[in-house]
Amino acid sequence: MAVSAVNFTIDKGADFSTALKIKTDGAVVNLTGYGFSCVMRKHYESPIGYGFSTTVLPPESAGIVRIELSNAVTTELPLGRHIYDFFTINSEGVRTKVLEGNVLVRGSASNDRG
């Protein structure tokens, strides 16, 4: 199974939210009964990871998950390029990597820290 690539940009110090459509082999995944893991790191071997909160958007059969980071978390992110991956976890505990990509964390001229 091929892993899809989706890239996005996060503004440091701002709330972040985006919706991702989960597919395997081109078919939308019915997310009923699934769990998720979505983590971003500066690089693959970085000891520090930032976990996104995940919410399935109804109906679960549409295969859409919203991932989010609060402004409290994005304020702590180092600027620059990061990587992330997204795993589904089925009811039997099988983890499947379905998305990966790059994340650009941008600074802000306002430098508002909260």
pLDDT tens digits, one per residue of 30-52? 999 999 999 999 999 999 999 99
pLDDT at 1 over 70: no
The structure's pTM equals 0.89
Break the chain into its structural domains and give their ranges.
4-106
Q: Mean per-residue pLDDT for 15-20? A: 97
Q: Which of 50, 52, 41, 35 is nearest to 95 (CA)?
A: 35
pLDDT at 15 over 90: yes
Name the architecture of domain 4-106.
Sandwich (2.60)
Kindly state the helix (H) or strand (E) to which residue 93 belongs, with its residue range. none
Gap between the Cα atoms of 34 and 45, Å rounded: 27
